[in-house]
């Protein structure tokens, strides 16, 4: 603005020196001030950011800051957690092997420790044990080993449950189960060993199905020239099988929790712009360290809080949409700035009377004000074009709109829960998580509607659904 004032003063003074009267010189100076009012420049960026953020929220993409929206367009590498991000996050026991012990006793020992753990694999084991009526023993000296497993004392025996690394560290021989473990891992399953008093007594194999939309999401990222890397604590064979199913460029397996943040940091040090996508406690440091942290909405609270962007529908394709939206916003900002620059480059000389000696052109201040308003109008209308983002895009399924009629699931039991007390994206993420933790429940939560749209694959009483939500401090107004 000081530059514009100087130009106006110089223009007025120049015409006075050229012999024009005060009225003419003042007219030129005022025209410069009016036509160059920087409204368009001031609106160019915030209007596009505001519309882009709103469009993201409308599509279930919660963008926490303008900075994260602006940074996302630079992303050239997406790092993915496996469990709960690429997969459903609800593993199930496929098989149980107990060569040297009664299976019922093996399940009781396993249940005694796993019931104390919050890990998704532990949940799968406890659900299986409960179905088999394997009541847990009292557990003492319970402990968790990060990236390895759990240990404790049950029925007078020192029990250890975990992966190959943990068994090797404890000196337990897994060779009797190696062939079966390798075969399961090659199919994408996870082998989980159980040892008692230093001897491996059995093994579980668990499968966590890949989300049906994950491969499409990876293809979309590849179409945007973005490299994909999957990081997981699972064994290398299981990780490679999942990588092959999804088409991910690279996988790093058998990682400790701290390794994810370290690897993200190394990629950034190489000059890459990295987006980290995760859903768990172990992902939180990497989410915070990445250029852009993207959390799965149904993930744990600490992951949601650490992220810059939250995918409220827990659909990995929305990560590609978020990056695409960022690119559209930045392109829109550049268009706005280009228009404002062209407008000022032509308008200021015209208002100052540069063309008057040769062509007789001069600008009335009234028309200058109108031109300034028109410029601002053009910038705002261009920004509003972002509301068209995503229209006409065909996805392989239409399940992402919780209010749409999904013909492929027309026989499923659907319910709508009205919820009071949800104020932000964090609230909807919490409600989504607790509902999806209930077996047989698939839920999507809308902050706008204050509703949870629930699909049941088995009979779940309304009271169970209600208690899960009210336990988090929200009020359920009704279920229908």
Label residue 402 by pLDDT band (50, 70, 90): very low
Identify the bridge partners of residue 143 per DSSP, sorted by sequence position: 151
- Say yes or no: do domains 92-207 and 414-479 share a fold: no
Mean pLDDT of 113-126: 91
Q: In the prediction, which pLDDT does 467 show?
A: 87
DSSP annotation of 423: -
pTM over 0.85: no
The predicted structure's pLDDT at residue 4: 61
Nearest to 104 by CA among 142, 160, 155: 155
Residues in CB range of 257: below 8 A, 6 or more apart: 146, 147, 233, 281, 282, 285
Between these two residues, 473 and 342, which has the higher pLDDT value?
473
Q: Which of 390, 388, 386 lies closest to 48, judged by CA?
A: 386
Q: For residue 18, what pLDDT is reported?
A: 73
Select, from the ranges 42-51, 71-80, 145-154, 465-474, the one with the highest average predicted confidence (pLDDT). Answer: 71-80
In this prediction, residue 8 carries a pLDDT of 66
CATH class belonging to 92-207: alpha beta
| Residue indicated by tokens 């149980």 | 96
What is the rounded distance in angstroms from the CA atom of residue 279 to the CA atom of residue 265?
19
For the chain, domain boundaries: 1-46+328-388, 64-88+211-312, 92-207, 414-479
CB of 412 within 8 A of CB of 456? yes
Catalytic residues: 81
Res. 396: pLDDT tops 60? no
Fold of the domain spanning 64-88+211-312 = Rossmann fold (3.40.50)
The total number of residues written for the chain in this structure? 480
Per-residue confidence (pLDDT) for residue 440, from 0 to 100: 81
pLDDT, the chain, mean: 85
Taking each helix axis from N to C end, the angle separating 22-35 and 317-352, rounded to the nearest 10 degrees, works out to 180
Q: What angle do CA 267, 251, 297 make, to 5 degrees?
A: 80
Can you read off the two tokens belonging to residue 250? 């690279």
pLDDT of residue 394: 44
Q: Which of the four pLDDT bands, split at 50, 70 and 90, describes residue 32?
A: low
For residue 377, the model assigns a pLDDT of: 84
- Mean pLDDT for the stretch of residues 259-279: 95
Tokens read off for 156: 């007078």
pLDDT at 368: 63
Tens digits of residue pLDDT in 123-175: 999 999 999 999 999 999 999 998 889 999 999 999 999 999 999 999 999 99
Q: Please choose, from the candidates 229, 262, 265, 211, the residue with its C-alpha nearest in 3D space to the C-alpha of residue 91.
A: 211
Could you tell me if 437 and 475 are in contact, meaning their C-beta atoms sit under 8 angstroms apart? no
What letters, b where the CB count within 10 A reaches 16 and e where it falls short, cover 434-472?
A: bbbebeebbbbbbbeebbbbbbbeeebeeeebbebbeee
Nearest to 301 by CA among 210, 214, 421, 424: 424
Indicate whether 399 pLDDT > 70: no
Could you read off the pLDDT of 69-104 as tens digits, one per residue?
A: 999 999 999 999 998 899 988 889 999 999 878 999
Q: Which of 29-43, 179-193, 330-344 has the lowest mean pLDDT?
A: 29-43
Give domain 414-479's CATH architecture.
Answer: 2-Layer Sandwich (3.30)
Q: What is the pLDDT of residues 332-359, one digit of tens each?
A: 999 988 887 777 677 667 666 666 667 7
């Amino acid at each position: 603005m000081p530059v514009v004032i100087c130009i106006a003063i110089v223009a007025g003074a120049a015409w006075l020196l050229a012999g024009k009267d005060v009225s003419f010189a003042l007219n030129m100076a005022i025209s410069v001030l009016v036509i160059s009012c920087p409204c368009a420049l001031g609106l160019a960026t915030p209007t596009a950011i505001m519309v882009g953020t709103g469009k993201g929220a409308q599509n279930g993409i919660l963008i926490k800051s303008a900075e994260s929206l602006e940074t996302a367009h630079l992303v050239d590498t997406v790092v993915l957690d496996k469990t709960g991000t690429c997969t459903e996050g609800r593993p199930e026991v496929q098989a149980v092997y107990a060569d040297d012990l009664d299976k019922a006793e093996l399940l009781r020992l396993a249940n005694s420790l796993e019931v104390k753990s919050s890990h998704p694999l532990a949940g799968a084991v406890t659900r299986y044990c409960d179905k088999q009526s394997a009541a847990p023993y009292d557990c003492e000296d319970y402990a968790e080993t990060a990236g390895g497993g759990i240990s404790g004392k049950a029925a007078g025996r020192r029990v250890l449950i975990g992966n190959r690394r943990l068994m090797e560290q404890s000196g337990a021989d897994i060779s009797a189960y190696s062939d079966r473990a390798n075969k399961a891992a090659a199919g994408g399953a996870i082998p989980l060993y159980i040892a008692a008093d230093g001897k491996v007594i059995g093994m579980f194999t668990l499968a966590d199905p890949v989300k049906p939309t994950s491969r499409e999401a990876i293809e979309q990222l590849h179409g945007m020239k973005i490299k994909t890397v999957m990081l997981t604590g699972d064994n290398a064979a299981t990780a490679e099988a999942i990588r092959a199913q999804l088409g991910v460029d690279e996988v790093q397996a058998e990682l400790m929790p701290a390794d994810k943040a370290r690897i993200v940091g190394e990629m950034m040090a190489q000059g890459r712009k990295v987006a980290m996508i995760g859903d768990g406690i172990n992902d939180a440091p990497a989410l915070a360290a990445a250029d852009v942290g993207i959390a799965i909405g149904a993930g744990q609270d600490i992951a949601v809080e650490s992220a810059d962007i939250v995918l409220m529908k827990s659909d990995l394709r929305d990560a590609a949409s978020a990056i695409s939206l960022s690119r559209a916003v930045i392109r829109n900002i550049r268009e706005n700035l280009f228009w404002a620059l062209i407008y000022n480059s032509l308008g200021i000389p015209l208002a100052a009377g540069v063309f008057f000696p040769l062509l007789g052109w001069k600008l009335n201040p009234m028309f200058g004000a109108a031109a300034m308003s028109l410029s601002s109008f053009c910038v705002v209308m261009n920004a509003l074009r972002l509301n068209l983002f995503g229209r006409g895009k065909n996805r392989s399924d239409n399940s992402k709109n919780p209010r749409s009629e999904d013909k492929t699931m027309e026989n499923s039991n659907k319910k709508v829960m009205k919820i009071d007390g949800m104020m932000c994206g964090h609230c909807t993420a919490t409600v989504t998580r607790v509902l999806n933790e209930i077996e047989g429940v698939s839920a999507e939560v809308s902050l706008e509607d204050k509703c949870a749209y629930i699909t049941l694959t088995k009979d779940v009483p309304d009271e169970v659904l209600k208690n899960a939500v009210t336990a988090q401090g929200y009020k359920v107004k009704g279920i229908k």
